Chains A and B, each alone.
Chain A
Amino acid sequence: MKVDETIRTDTPPERAARKTGSFLPRLQLGADHDLCPGCGEPVALRILLEAIEAVGCAENSIGVIGIGCYTALTPLMDVDLVQALHGRAPSLATGAKRMKPETLLFTLQGDGDMVNEGLQEVLHTAARGERVTCVLLNNGVFGETGGHMTSTTVLGQRTKNTLEGRDASYHGHPILIGDLLAQLDGTAYAARGAVYDAPSVARTQVMLRRAFEAQLSGAGFSFVEILTMCPTGWFVPTAEGPGYLSKVMGSVHVTGELKRDGQFTPTRELPPPEGVE
Chain B
Amino acid sequence: MTRRLLEGSEAMVEAALLAGCRFFAGYPMTPFTEVLEHFAAKLPAAGGTCINAESELEAIGMAWGALATGARAATGSTGQGLALMQESLSEITRAELPLVVFHMARGQGDYYQATRGGGHGDYRHPVYAPVDVGEAVELTQQAFDLADRWRNPFVLYGDYLLAHTAEAVAVEPLACPPIPEKEWAVDGSLSGSGRSRNVNSLGMTKGRKGIEPEAFWQRLQAKHDQMAVELPRFEAEHTDDCDLLVVAFGSLARFARHAVRELRRDGARVGYFRPVTLWPFPTEALALAAQGVARVAVLEQNGGQMIDDVRLAVLGSAPVVPIGGISSDDAGFGMGPLLDPVNVRIRVSGALAGTERAA
Contact = CB atoms under 8 A, between A and B. Distances in A.
Find the residue from A80, A95, A103 having the highest chain B CB count within 10 A.
A95
A91 B209 contact: no
B191 A80 contact: yes
Contacts of A26: 192
Interface string B171-214: 00000000000000011111111101111111011111110000
Interface in A92-134: 92-100, 103-104, 120-121, 124
Interface stretch (B60-68, B234-242, B244-252, B288-296): B60-68
Interface stretch (A53-61, A160-168, A244-252): A53-61
19 contacts: A58-B191, A59-B193, A61-B188, A62-B187, A78-B192, A80-B187, A85-B87, A91-B53, A91-B65, A92-B62, A92-B65, A95-B64, A96-B65, A96-B69, A96-B186, A97-B65, A120-B57, A121-B57, A124-B54
A103 B192 CA distance: 14
A259 interface: no
A60 B191 contact: yes
Given A34-B209, A83-B204, A94-B62, A88 B88 contact: yes
Given A29-B207, A85-B88, A92-B61, A99 B189 contact: no
Find the residue from B22, B65, B68 having the highest chain A CB count within 10 A.
B65
B66 A29 contact: no
Contacts of B190: 80
Interface stretch (A69-77, A176-184, A231-239): A69-77
A99 B198 contact: no
Interface in B40-87: 49, 51, 53-55, 57-71, 73, 87
B49 A98 contact: yes
Given A91-B62, A98-B66, A61 B88 contact: no
B95 interface: yes
Given A59-B193, A60-B191, 8 more contacts: A27-B192, A72-B209, A74-B204, A78-B194, A82-B65, A85-B61, A94-B58, A95-B69
Nearest to B90: A85
A-B residue pairs, 7 tightest by C-beta? A91-B61, A95-B65, A83-B200, A92-B65, A95-B66, A80-B186, A95-B62
A201 interface: no
B199 A81 contact: yes
A191 interface: no
Find the residue from B189, B190, B196, B202 having the highest chain A CB count within 10 A.
B196
Contact of A96 (B54, B57, B66): B66
A82 B188 CA distance: 11
A225 to B, nearest CB: 21
Contacts of A58: 191-192
B193 A78 contact: yes
Contacts of A85: 61, 87-88, 91
Given A83-B200, A120-B54, A104 B192 contact: no
Contact of B191 (A59, A82, A83): A59
Nearest to A72: B209
B23 interface: yes
Given A99-B22, A99-B49, A80 B66 contact: no
A121 B191 contact: no
A59 B58 contact: no
A53 B192 CA distance: 9
B147 interface: no
Q: Is the interface of A mostly helix, strand, loop or mixed?
A: mixed
B200 A95 contact: no
B26 to A, nearest CB: 12
Contact of A80 (B57, B87, B196): B196
B155 interface: no
Interface string B338-356: 0000000000000000000
B25 interface: yes
Contacts of A78: 191-194, 196, 206
Interface in A23-61: 26-27, 29-30, 32-34, 52-53, 57-61
B230 to A, nearest CB: 28
A75 B49 contact: no
Nearest to A89: B61
A224 interface: no
A83 B197 CA distance: 11
B58 A124 contact: yes
A207 interface: no
A104 B188 contact: yes
A97 B49 CA distance: 11
A95 B73 contact: yes
B333 to A, nearest CB: 28
B92 to A, nearest CB: 9
Contact of A83 (B58, B62, B199): B199
Contacts of B54: 120, 124
Contact of B57 (A64, A88, A104): A88
A84 interface: yes
Nearest to A64: B65
Contacts of A104: 188
Contacts of A149: none
A84 B198 contact: no
